[in-house]
Amino acid sequence: MRALGVLALLLASGCASTRVVRLDTGGGKSIAYTPIETEPVEMDEEEFKGAVARLVPDLRLDAVFKEVDQEDRRSSSVSHGSGGDGALGRAVSSAHERICHRQEDPMGCLGMMTGGLTLGPMERRMLALYFAFDGAWDDIEEDLRDTVNVAALRGLVTTMSGTALKTLVAPEPMTKPISLAWAASLIAYLGTEPVWKLGQGFSRLVEESRDAASFEELERVGHRFGNVLGDNGARVLVVVSLSVLGGRNAMTTRGPKMPGFAQAAIRAQTEAGFQLVGALSGDVRSIALTSGGELKVMLAPTAVAAVAMGPGAAPMGTVGGIQGDAEGAVHPICAGKGTAAESDGGPWAQRCQELFGKGGMRPEDPANLIRIKGHRGSHPEAYHARVFELLDDATRGCRDIAGCRGALTRELARIARELVTKGTELRTLVTSDAEE
């Protein structure tokens, strides 16, 4: 299944080196640590369709095209004249209908990608990327046909994604607000390792599309990258691209409309060291993914690092916000001192205290705090028992403080993602309405 595309690429890459996150917190201070990697946030077909349906009506395509075009001009300096020779340049007119056969306006479809020019390196790259979205676009094209110019929208998403991917793989850090919000969201949803692999895959697409001698070759190049993306990666890329279009003000309102946003926000903190909502509103000044896999994040002076310590890391940085839902009561994942679990006479507070002591942590540490909408107050015995069992199992094999801290933090991050996912066992236990 194509949803496993990114995972397959990771396995095929062999024993990759451990990724490192380096946070520049200003004033010459830098935090380096090994990120805690968890599974990507999944976006199924129905969630994807719903997200696109919510995001598209907010777009003013004329204004957005102008903004994306300006962003693209800053990131590319491509000569159109040198790339139009050869078989590909001569075949443009005869290939319109085949390339855009799903659209009512085939000529307009391809024109949206090429600007009416013969195909230079940039146009070849964009057409190959256009083909990479074939699977994801099949899911939504029919639903959108009556409400929006589908060719224009697909061209817009392709251009936005291509521009952002180009800046992602460039040696210079990303600094433009749209690209930063896009990269931060992608890292939050997929993780540092998969995004780095996507960057490698896109670099191959750039090289292969430049050398393509026919539209058939461009289609194959695009589909190869689509296999790297997988179904989930392609859906995330489309939704993230739509959510960041329209400027900084739009990012802060559209971002939380994305499916799985609460889970992605937790992942951004635990794996990449930044707060996703803050990244969408300007708290991140630059992002760079080096060829060696190091993620470099520069925070704005007013932002606070949200570092989740991995194995071997020292307790540096503080969390400026609480993970979880946008609203609701805050509570410890594993019962802490002074909680209902202790005042009710239960043993869980003391047990959690001893468990966290194995990793040099405390129940009041940010990694153990979460905000839950629909929180009941006192938790049932089944919740405390299950959480303690999970954390106890996770730390059973750890041999030192650093190893236990890493095991605890990873499992807390996994539990936190379950707690913000509707319908899961743990969330049902702590909310008043299982279906919300």
DSSP state letters, 104-166: S-HHHHHHHHHTTS---HHHHHHHHHHHHTHHHHHHHHHHHTTTS-HHHHHHHHHHHHHHHHH
* CA 237 and chain centroid, separation: 8
- What's the pTM value of the predicted model, to 2 decimals? 0.65
Q: How far is CA 23 from CA 26, 269, 296, 297, 343, in A?
A: 9, 12, 6, 5, 40
Angle between helical axes of 61-75 and 177-190 (0-180°, round to 10): 90
Q: How far apart are CA 172 and CA 290, in angstroms?
A: 9
Interacting residues of 12 by C-beta distance below 8 A, sequence separation 6+:
none
- Burial-class residue 47 by CB neighbours within 10 Å (0-12, 13-18, 19+): middle
For the chain, give every domain's residue range: 20-66+95-299, 323-432
Q: How far is CA 297 from CA 268, 274, 306, 364, in A?
A: 12, 8, 12, 27
Tokens 């503080």 correspond to 318
pLDDT band at 252 (very low <50, low <70, confident <90, very high): confident
Please tell me which residue, 396 or 150, carries the higher pLDDT value.
Answer: 396
pLDDT at position 129: 92
Q: What is the pLDDT of residues 183-230, one digit of tens each?
A: 999 999 998 888 988 999 999 999 999 988 887 888 899 999 999 999
Radius of gyration in angstroms for the set of CA atoms belonging to the chain, rounded to a whole number: 23
Return the pLDDT at 298: 87
Task: Kindly write down the DSSP assignment for every residue of 293-350, as one continuous string.
Answer: S-EEEEE-TT--------TT-------SS--B-SSSEEEESS--TTSHHHHTT-SHHH
pLDDT (tens digit, 9 = 90+) per residue, 290-325? 877 788 888 877 655 555 433 333 332 223 346 777
Mean pLDDT of the chain: 74
What is the distance between the alpha carbons of residues 209 and 122, in angstroms, rounded to a whole number?
9
Instruction: Report in angstroms the alpha-carbon separations of 366 from 32, 54, 323, 402.
Output: 19, 33, 8, 17
**Choice between 90 and 113, residue whose per-residue pLDDT is larger:** 113
% of the chain surpassing 70 pLDDT: 68
Phi, psi angles (nearest 5°) of residue 55: -80, -35
Q: Is residue 86 predicted with pLDDT exceeding 80?
A: no
The C-alpha atoms of residue 278 and residue 159 are separated, in whole angstroms, by 25
**CA–CA separation, 165 and 188 (whole Å):** 16
- Give the model's confidence band at 9: pLDDT under 50 very low, under 70 low, under 90 confident, else very high: very low
Half-sphere exposure of 21 (CA within 13 A, CB side): 29
> For the residues 38-44, what does the mean pLDDT come to?
84
Residue type, 256: P
Write down the pLDDT at residue 81.
Answer: 36
Q: Is the pLDDT of residue 391 over 50?
A: yes
- Name residue 24's beta-bridge partners: 30, 298
